Structure 1
Amino acid sequence: MDRPSLWTHSAEEPPLLPEAEAPAEGAVDVAIIGGGYTGLATALFAAQAGLSVHVIEAAAIGAGGSGRNVGLINAGLWVPPDDLLQTLGPQVGPRFLDLFGRGPQTVFDLIEQHQIRCEPRRMGTIHAAHAPRGLRDLQARHAAWRRLGAPVGLLDREETAALTGTTLFHGGLLDRRAGKINPMGYARGLARAARGAGARITTATPVTALRRDGAGWRVETGRGTITAPQVVLATNAYGGDLWPALARAVTIIHFFQVATAPLGEASADILPQGQGLWDTAPVMTSLTRDGAGRVILGSMGRMIGTPQTGVSARWARRRFRRLFPEKPVPDFTEGWHGRIAMTQDHMPRICQLDRGLWAPMGYNGRGITTGTLFGRALAEMLAGAPQSSLPLPVSPLGRRAAPGLQARAFDLAFTLNQIAPIP
């Protein structure tokens, strides 16, 4: 397993305690494979709807992408809203944009309802222009969102500097719908809420086989077998070999983060209002600051070496110096990476792999809102809502050309980016 993230020990929500009844066996209405945002949101809403649910997680809650991401709760997708409307058409597009525009509110409502301890901050997020061409892209996005009535603001260079603490960026887009959280805290809180609603959750139990069983499915593990007429394969970028065709439908890339020790007042002028940031560079950089004053820098690629002396640590020190040249470069003490499932068009998918077998996938780095919204929608459908109520039409699985080769090419490019001098 990859190095644990900072969020594993900084989250206020404690790890979910194993249930007394250890065997993963029995018959349920819905079996869910994967204990991340999608699987846990599906379990919570399905259990609330009266369905019997069992979540099977190979490691610990949030051990995959859900507990490793940057923690930004963004509205919408990477795809600009005008392009998304054109792609989805006049029937689905406006409904999808409205749902995802309200996605952060849905997440924050769940946090409030279940009192999830995850350091929620709803001060917006900043998409920062790394260059003049990045600012032009943000201006176009701002105009598109404003036509739709979204509460987004275009920041000039001085306004961006005031909100970020650095003069490096040429401007920014402030999305006031958005915010940030401790991502592991949210995952653990969803698990606690799902179990409280009646869902059963079994951790540290890899699924060894998924087999058709008459009209339903057999989910086989080393600790027993679960049978269910409906299965949600909620593994996204962490599916492994359980359903090999899934791995051929997306390209897996990595995103690493490196964090300082708590800096206290020394970091108070970095993102002073509590927003999170990512930039418009082709190989993007993220910047956040947590409640303890840690500064967390991230970029595409794997974590290389130790957080103190490795390649990624050296990149983080150079990047910090470029962002904040007047500050002493702090020590970086923790580092980790997670996986992102990318689709060719940067659109997520809800796929039906077989009768009663569902696979939401391809979140393209927008896992918190997408996983929560897809999980709720799948639960409602499994409880009786029509398939047309899903946020997107059900998609064929499809297949990317040479996804493994693409992933290796990205890995090489991202590694070179860590080594290269920062302009």
Structure 2
Amino acid sequence: MQERCLWYATSPEPPLSLEALEGDHRADVAVIGGGITGLSTALHLAEAGISVSLIEAGDIPNGGSGRNVGLVNAGLWIPPDDIAETLGEVDGERVNATLGAAPTEVFSLIERHRIDCHATRTGTLHLAHNGKGEQELARRAAQFQHRGTPVELLEGESCWRRLGSQRINRALLDHRAGTLNPAAYTRGLARAAHTNGARLYTHSAATGMERAGDGWRVTTDRGSIAASRLVLATNAYTEDQWNHVRHHFFAGHFYQVASEPLSDTQAEDILPDRQGAWDTRMVLSSIRRDADGRLILGSLGKGDSKPASFLRCWADRIQQYYFPQLDTVNWECAWTGRIAFTPDHTLRLFEPAPGILAVTGYNGRGITTGTVVGRGFAHYLMHDDDSLLPLPIRPASPVRAAALWRSAYESGFTLYHAGQCLRLIA
């Protein structure tokens, strides 16, 4: 089993040939970070005729934007009533409405810019792995249906048919959602932004930022960009001391393991409508298939710090639990991405200094949230109006004891997975 990201190798969108930033440049807006948030911001600004320059430390994609599960999910990870309780009624329902419509925004961009990313629009499945999980899904379904959300609580035969497993007796089907190849989607956003006039630079890590008159200057090893406004779109991959974002999240990880393409006879009943799925376990498992029929399993934790034998054992355990009808599965590759967590599982939108916009804390919902935040940032920069963002832009408090949160999460994930491998946990 190789350590490599499947999505890069199977992306129908080719990478752009981009140069590193050299020399001194000017723009109306400078964006740091070439993931989904930064590219969505650049694309929407460029479409409006605003001069924008974006720098990325590596290739596009480089971080979580190309390494995630590829679920085009609606909303946040926590259910809508919990969001309203955490953020307050007004802000909570704003998040529910804005991010509930986020899959539509993603699919609209895919169609408008003809992004070839193997997108499906058949929904996602949240799977109840035990009786407690069934109660939780019933609670979520009631909350969604109260808001008129197109979700469906599947039970028994209808649930088994959608998943291809009789292990699950109840699942929540969200008709708003879907799947895609995240590396291809990110490359497609980059192509669209570049075509519309955004200047994109790769292998150009920001080394700092400083005041420059009424605006800001971002520096790299070989150049700089002076701009009136600055967007920090580095999210979970923020490491530099000067970058304010690093104080507002704690880093977690998510690994995935992909099989070789399964034969039609092996896999014809597994997720036949190509929904992506995840379960209600304390440490969730994700399940999906790609365009070539591979089975892709994932979970929270650092896969790249574990032996291949551990990942193979875990993947075998999950596959045998859900799909015992399969013959021996050959696992082809594994990879890990990084997630920006917050203690309350909600995102942070803030201005760390006048003229700077920042965001973090997607908590594993980066495809949709990043796309919508990028559109909202562009609108705010042009009109001084934050109404298209999931939350108002306001001061944010740093996450205290981030290192302890990170260590506790990773230790818990590892212990849970070890319990699964040892069959102590179903």
**TM-score in same-fold range (> 0.5):** yes
Query: What is the identity, as a one-letter code, of the residue corresponding to 1:181?
Result: L
Describe the SS at the equivalent of 1:198. Answer: coil
Describe the SS at the equivalent of 1:159. Answer: helix
- Show the counterpart of 2:230: 231
Over aligned residue pairs, what C-alpha RMSD do you find?
Answer: 1.8
Query: What is the identity, as a one-letter code, of the residue corresponding to 1:279?
Result: D
Equivalences for residues 253-292 of structure 1 within 5 A = 253-265=252-264, 266-292=266-292
Give me the whole-angstrom Cα distance separating, in 2, the residues matched to 1:335 and 1:108. Answer: 27
The answer as to whether partners of 1:26 and 1:227 remain within 8 angstroms in 2 is: yes
Unaligned runs of 5+ in 1: none
The superposition leaves residues 285-306 of structure 1 with CA deviations (integer Å, 9 ceiling, x where unpaired) of 0000001011000001011468
Q: In 2 relative to 1, CA 268–306 (structure 1 residues): closer, same or farther, beyond 3 Å? A: farther
The answer as to whether partners of 1:59 and 1:204 remain within 8 angstroms in 2 is: yes
Give me the whole-angstrom Cα distance separating, in 2, the residues matched to 1:328 and 1:85. Answer: 45
Give me the whole-angstrom Cα distance separating, in 1, the residues matched to 2:242 and 2:103. Answer: 31
Cα deviation for residue 310 of structure 1 reads: 2.7
Give me the whole-angstrom Cα distance separating, in 2, the residues matched to 1:200 and 1:172. Answer: 44
The answer as to whether partners of 2:259 and 2:296 remain within 8 angstroms in 1 is: yes
1:12 counterpart = 2:28? no
Query: What is the identity, as a one-letter code, of the residue corresponding to 2:172?
Result: L
**290-299 or 163-172, which moves further after superposition?**
163-172
Describe the SS at the equivalent of 2:405. Answer: helix
Cα deviation for residue 9 of structure 1 reads: 1.1
The answer as to whether partners of 2:21 and 2:204 remain within 8 angstroms in 1 is: no
TM-score by length of 2: 0.94
- Show the counterpart of 2:375: 376
Query: What is the identity, as a one-letter code, of the residue corresponding to 2:34?
Result: G
The answer as to whether partners of 1:306 and 1:335 remain within 8 angstroms in 2 is: no
Give me the whole-angstrom Cα distance separating, in 1, the residues matched to 2:13 and 2:238. Answer: 26
Cα deviation for residue 242 of structure 1 reads: 4.6
The answer as to whether partners of 2:84 and 2:90 remain within 8 angstroms in 1 is: no
Cα deviation for residue 97 of structure 1 reads: 2.1
Query: What is the identity, as a one-letter code, of the residue corresponding to 2:171?
Result: G
Give me the whole-angstrom Cα distance separating, in 2, the residues matched to 1:365 and 1:291. Answer: 22
Equivalences for residues 305-324 of structure 1 within 5 A = 309-324=308-323
Give me the whole-angstrom Cα distance separating, in 1, the residues matched to 2:258 and 2:272. Answer: 17
The answer as to whether partners of 1:347 and 1:362 remain within 8 angstroms in 2 is: yes
Cα deviation for residue 186 of structure 1 reads: 0.4
- Aligned residues: percent identity? 45
The answer as to whether partners of 1:157 and 1:172 remain within 8 angstroms in 2 is: no
The superposition leaves residues 165-199 of structure 1 with CA deviations (integer Å, 9 ceiling, x where unpaired) of 11222311000010000000000000000001110
**150-159 or 283-292, which moves further after superposition?**
150-159
- Show the counterpart of 2:196: 197
Cα deviation for residue 366 of structure 1 reads: 0.4
The answer as to whether partners of 1:277 and 1:286 remain within 8 angstroms in 2 is: yes
Query: What is the identity, as a one-letter code, of the residue corresponding to 1:10?
Result: T
Describe the SS at the equivalent of 1:353. Answer: coil
The answer as to whether partners of 1:304 and 1:310 remain within 8 angstroms in 2 is: no
- Show the counterpart of 2:52: 53
Give me the whole-angstrom Cα distance separating, in 2, the residues matched to 1:325 and 1:269. Answer: 12
Cα deviation for residue 158 of structure 1 reads: 2.6
Give me the whole-angstrom Cα distance separating, in 1, the residues matched to 2:135 and 2:28. Answer: 50
Give me the whole-angstrom Cα distance separating, in 1, the residues matched to 2:222 and 2:304. Answer: 35
The superposition leaves residues 307-349 of structure 1 with CA deviations (integer Å, 9 ceiling, x where unpaired) of 8x43112211121111112221211111001111111111111
Give me the whole-angstrom Cα distance separating, in 1, the residues matched to 2:180 and 2:370. Answer: 15
Describe the SS at the equivalent of 1:253. Answer: strand
Equivalences for residues 8-407 of structure 1 within 5 A = 8-19=8-19, 23=22, 25-243=24-242, 245-265=244-264, 266-304=266-304, 309-407=308-406
Describe the SS at the equivalent of 2:231. Answer: strand
Give me the whole-angstrom Cα distance separating, in 1, the residues matched to 2:43 and 2:3. Answer: 28
Give me the whole-angstrom Cα distance separating, in 2, the residues matched to 1:55 and 1:302. Answer: 29
Give me the whole-angstrom Cα distance separating, in 2, the residues matched to 1:388 and 1:126. Answer: 30
The answer as to whether partners of 2:21 and 2:220 remain within 8 angstroms in 1 is: no
1:412 counterpart = 2:411? yes
Query: What is the identity, as a one-letter code, of the residue corresponding to 1:15?
Result: P
Query: What is the identity, as a one-letter code, of the residue corresponding to 1:343?
Result: T
Cα deviation for residue 26 of structure 1 reads: 0.5
Unaligned runs of 5+ in 2: none
Cα deviation for residue 360 of structure 1 reads: 1.1
Describe the SS at the equivalent of 1:355. Answer: coil
Describe the SS at the equivalent of 1:40. Answer: helix
TM-score by length of 1: 0.95
The answer as to whether partners of 2:46 and 2:193 remain within 8 angstroms in 1 is: yes
**225-234 or 240-249, which moves further after superposition?**
240-249
